[in-house]
Structure 1
């Protein structure tokens, strides 16, 4: 879906390109962090008792699950489940 006029889209892009590469990287990282937080909140809201592994598997599936075939996806999910590491905070 694109509800932005071409003129406004071009103006926005020009404003972004005026920023330094470092500023654009910081913006991109902030957007990624926000997206992750939203997905984590969604997963936790759906299952308040969700484990760290459940949240990690949900994050993987939301962001990258569609990029892998069933067999590869299953291997990655199994690896996530077996890796007992604390969630980054």
Structure 2
């Protein structure tokens, strides 16, 4: 979806490119952290009885569902829940 006017997109790009590599890296890390927190809160709302480890396992599966085989995901989830 592209609903941002072109002049605004160009302004955003100019601002982002004016920042140092370190500042852009920090911005990216903060965005990832924000998304992680949003997903975690959503899972808590959907299933209030989950433990922190169960929530962490579900967050992992949301973010990495296509990155690992089923066997690998099972091992990682088990490690999260029992580690």
Query: TM-score by structure 2 length?
Result: 0.84
Unmatched tracts of structure 1, length 5 or more: 84-89
* Alignment match, 1:47: 47
Unaligned 5+ runs, structure 2: none
Provide TM-score, normalisation by structure 1: 0.80
Q: Would you say how many aligned residue pairs link Structure 1 and Structure 2?
A: 83
Matches within 5 A, 1:1-89: 1-83=1-83
Per-residue deviation, 1:36: 1.0
| Deviation by residue 1:44-87 (Cα, 9 ceiling, x = unmatched) | 0011121011111111011112211211111111111111xxxx
